[in-house]
Structure 1
Amino acid sequence: MRYAIVGLGSRAQMYLDACVGAHRDVAELVAVADVNRGRIGHHLRRIGADLPAYASVEELLAAQTVDRVIVTTPDYTHASIVIAALEAGADVIVEKPLTIDADSCRDIAATIEKTGKSVTVTFNYRYSPRNSALREVIAAGQIGKVTSVHFEWVLDTAHGADYYRRWHREKAKSGGLLVHKASHHFDLVNWWIHDIPTRVYASGGLRFYGSENASARGLVDRPPRGSIDVASRDPFMLDMRENPTLKALYLDNESYDGYLRDQDVFAPGITIEDNMSVIVDYASGATMSYSLNSHSPWEGYVVSVNGTEGRAELTVVERGAVLADSGRPVVDPSASPEMVAATESRPQSEKLVVQRHWQAAQEVPITGGDGAHGGGDAKLLRDVFVGASGDPLSRASDYRDGVRSIAVGIAANTSIATGHPITIADLDLRTDLSWPT
């Protein structure tokens, strides 16, 4: 099949490598597109390919015939690119989230219905062995019917801070972390308990990052961009000169589009939250309480699932405390997404415990693999390029999975803005959210 990739930032790397590597027998990469020709040049040199390259998806589709388009651009551009590809007769694979608001979700749904083409939203966290293990426990009925879920996710001051440096810092571009990041988490819960979210209430705010919080804590006279050196590092400043990947992709190519990858996390202009709490009701009657904090000293998550016959608890420490030694963090804040993924593939600790009523607690073994996300990315890519088959956990995701996940985040954003609970049906997303039988 003929593939094109639109968006050549960090996330595109695994798809580029798959097309020219492990899945080149079924995938022919015929073209790429990005607004920044410097990033195009970097990736094509890296994979040793001489391919037609374009500045937009429209130019690419006008010049090339493709079967499938892979979209790894900033979230706010997803809808227009997905729609253009569908109307050109191509199927689409898009990184989560599908899009960032209800209007664009409706537009995508209408285009899918009109064209009959397919959209796949990729959720690699489903494939992490620890998350698959929890799905197996619940699906096997070991804790009975699910009644409630508590899900706490913490991002540390290396990885978490990065969302406030990049385009993600603007809610109009990312939908905030409740859409961009938490769509992973909401998808996991929807998939774990095989249920449909129906109502959402949320609260949140910017309480750590941003210029107002910096002033309140006396963090004034911030070092100017590009002035940081190793000896006098501010741990919240990013020096891309120290990271070959970030330097090659972003610092060296700023002149092409003006994009700054290393903005100060305490500078003005941040419109997303850094502390969020959400209550979600499900069609079955179950309820989830969810929280996300992006300035924790360690990174990972704790999930507790209560059922009519017991309880399952999954605790994962992806990275331990970010300690400072002479002002330099142990986990460098300039860590690239590839470095973050590699760290997540080797969590510092993970533990899944199941306890049935009136019985002793039992630890469930978690068997991991090699590669990012415990070998999960390799399995995801096989499902994307070769096709899913024979998976009792149904980890392969489709368009409706993407809508179910962002429905919670969109409703949560609306709830924060209005102060009221939001019924997901009232969002009118034009999609049947029921699970296939």
Structure 2
Amino acid sequence: MKKRYVQVGVGGRARFFYESIASTYSETSEIVGVCDISQTRMDFVNKKLTQTYDYEKPVPTYFENQFTDMLDELKPDAVIVTSVDRTHDHYIITSMEKGYDVITEKPMTIDAEKTQAILDCQEKTGQKLTVTFNYRYAPHNSKVKELVSSGVIGNVHSIHFEWLLNTKHGADYFRRWHRNKLNSGGLFVHKSTHHFDLVNFWINSTPKEVFAYGDLNFYGRANADKRGVKSRYPRYYESGHIEDDPFAIDLTSTEELRELYLNAEADSGYIRDRNVFSDEISIEDTLGALVKYNRGTILTYSLNAYMPWEGFNVVLNGDKGRIELKVVENSYINSGGKKENEGALEDFSLMVFPLFEEPYEVPIKMESGGHGGGDPALLEDIFGEPKEDPLNRAAGHMDGALSILTGIAANKSIASGRPIQIKDLVDIKNK
């Protein structure tokens, strides 16, 4: 018998899950219902399922206020949550309270109160909550975990982690719902959760204290004025400037952008292509944090969302040497191109510098699929036959909580100008 899934939130990122179930895992799994605020988007899902993946008939669709009806009527084996970040907690908690396991896109949620509520619910119900950190599975990131675990650089005492979003991908966070911190928690939560999770994963430790700064230095109306940007149209569609504005997105350029967003505006109320130099932006584009971990490691972290290339530099310093990883990624826009190109690597290098010995480059075998083969490996863990994994890359509710708590603490530090203790945010001593 096939494992039956329902999915709530069927925007661009949702395709990663339902299309994998309908194709690679169709012999063992199936989508039996979807839930969203937009009938147009749900109709697009059914178009894909019936025309591309040969589902015999459309699956039932439910609006967001009918979510519990969907669970009661369809009785799935598990629920997939890919809605707007601020709503994750509602769907996760409702599902677990009704006895269903949950698979959620990162971030698990966006603030301390919602994090505590999810942890309390999981403890009460005992349901499984999986958080989909595909970066753990990327071969270069897995190799760093192997190297650190092998002791090749000894005890890791400090890490420098620099993430760069270019003006194609970075700007997209300032066009979409992410631009409002009440929706996304800002980039420290929505984007950096990947990076903070990698650090927790690599060094097998948890954050203790966070101090951070953050500013809006590039996007937003004030910066447009300072830089002489004359774009004053509220959105890019029908502005007449799509061709000559490097920050514009054309919602007619792909079927997904057109069907999931442009054609869905009437019943969703959501505008996907707002001007990146408008007034309503409440998130930062320039972020820096200093994090102290419970095992003594110090992390210096930065994220900038307007760089000339996309990727990251990370350095791990230990008492026996140093690891240096540089990755240049293919920049992408969600639903703006082929899925397999998302996070594809253009260049990378992984070097080990042992004390008193010659440095050497570590070879990395890349696989097909997004993030150097990381995406298919994650999907196999979720929907396929999980293999024994000495790296323990599968992430649960505590991994999801600890990754976002660093970003939540960073947001509170920006607001208060003070260092924030993780233990003051959420009670995790018994979790």
TM-score of the pair, normalised by structure 2: 0.94
Partners of 1:409 and 1:243 in 2: CA distance: 33
Are 1:61 and 2:68 an aligned pair?
no
Q: 1:242 aligns with which of 240, 253, 268?
A: 253
Whether 1:190 aligns to 2:200 is yes
Matched, 1:257 2:268: yes
Secondary structure at the aligned position of 2:69 is classed as helix
Q: Does 2:229 align with 1:219?
A: yes
Partner residue of 2:304 out of 278, 293, 299: 293
Q: Alignment partner for residue 379 of structure 2, among 376, 381, 396?
A: 381
| Greater Cα offset, 224-233 or 46-55 | 224-233
Does structure 2 conserve the Cα–Cα contact (< 8 Å) formed by 1:102 and 1:429? no
Q: 1:51 aligns with which of 40, 45, 59?
A: 59
Partner of 2:128: 118
Q: Residues 346 and 173 of structure 1: is their aligned pair in 2 closer, same or farther, counting only changes over 3 Å?
A: closer
* Contact 2:257-2:335 at 8 Å conserved across structures: no
Superposition deviation, residue 395 in structure 1: 0.9
Provide Cα deviations, 1:83-111, integer angstroms capped at 9, x if missing partner: 11111110000000000001111111121
Deviates more, 1:362-371 or 1:336-345: 336-345
SS of alignment partner, residue 178 of structure 1: helix
CA RMSD of aligned residues (A): 1.7
**How far did residue 354 of structure 1 move?**
0.2
Contact 1:400-1:432 at 8 Å conserved across structures: no
1:310-349 maps to which residues of 2 (within 5 A)?
310-319=321-330, 335-337=333-335, 339=337, 342-349=340-347
Distance in 2, matches of 1:422 and 1:238, equals: 38
Q: Is 2:409 the counterpart of 1:407?
A: no
Find the partner of 2:183 among 173, 195, 200.
173
Secondary structure of residue in 2 paired with 1:367: coil
Matched, 1:37 2:47: no
% identical aligned pairs = 44
1:17 aligns with 2:19: yes
Distance 1:209 1:230, change over 3 A: closer
SS at match of 1:428: coil
Indicate the SS of the match to 1:339: coil
Question: Could you say which residue in structure 1 is the equivalent of 2:166?
Answer: 156
Query: Aligned-pair distance for 1:231?
Result: 8.0
Deviation at 1:337, TM superposition (A): 4.4
Answer yes or no: is the 8 Å Cα contact 2:231–2:277 preserved in 1.
no
Native 8 Å contact 1:345 1:371 kept in 2? no
Give the whole-Å Cα distance in 1 for the aligned partners of 2:429 and 2:341: 36
Match of 2:315 in 1: 304
- Unaligned runs of at least 5 residues, structure 1: 320-330
**Is the contact made by 2:154 and 2:320 (CA closer than 8 Å) also made in structure 1?**
yes
Q: Which moved more, 1:26-35 or 1:303-312?
A: 26-35
Aligned to 1:328: none
CA deviation digits over 1:259-290, x for unaligned, max 9?
Answer: 00000000111000000000110111110000
Aligned position for 1:350:
348
Q: How many residues align?
A: 420
Measure the CA separation in 1 of the matches of 2:415 and 2:202.
Answer: 29
Q: 2:37 aligns to what SS in structure 1?
A: coil
Letter of the 1:44 counterpart: N
Distance 1:396 1:337 in 2: 26
**TM-score (structure 1 length as normaliser):** 0.92
What is the distance in 2 between the residues matched to 1:182 and 1:22? 29
Q: Which amino acid aligns with 1:43?
A: V
Q: Alpha carbons of 1:272 and 1:237: their partners in 2 closer, same or farther (altered >3 Å)?
A: same
Partner of 1:428: 426
Please tell me the residue identity of whatever aligns with 1:351: S
Q: Which residue of 2 aligns with 1:280?
A: 291
Residues 1:138 and 2:148 are matched in the alignment: yes
Q: Does the 8 Å contact 1:228/1:237 carry over to 2?
A: no
Counterpart secondary structure, 1:240: coil
Candidates 4, 7, 26, aligned match of 2:6: 4
In structure 2, list runs of 5 or more residues that go unmatched. Answer: none
TM-fit CA distance, 1:243: 2.5
**Alpha-carbon distance between aligned partners in 2 of 1:289 and 1:199, rounded to the nearest angstrom:** 12
- Distance in structure 1 (CA, Å) of the matches to 2:254 and 2:116: 40
Letter in 1 for 2:379: L
Structure 1 residue 108 corresponds to structure 2 residue 118: yes
Q: Which amino acid aligns with 2:278?
A: A
Equivalent of residue 282 in structure 2, options 256, 260, 271:
271
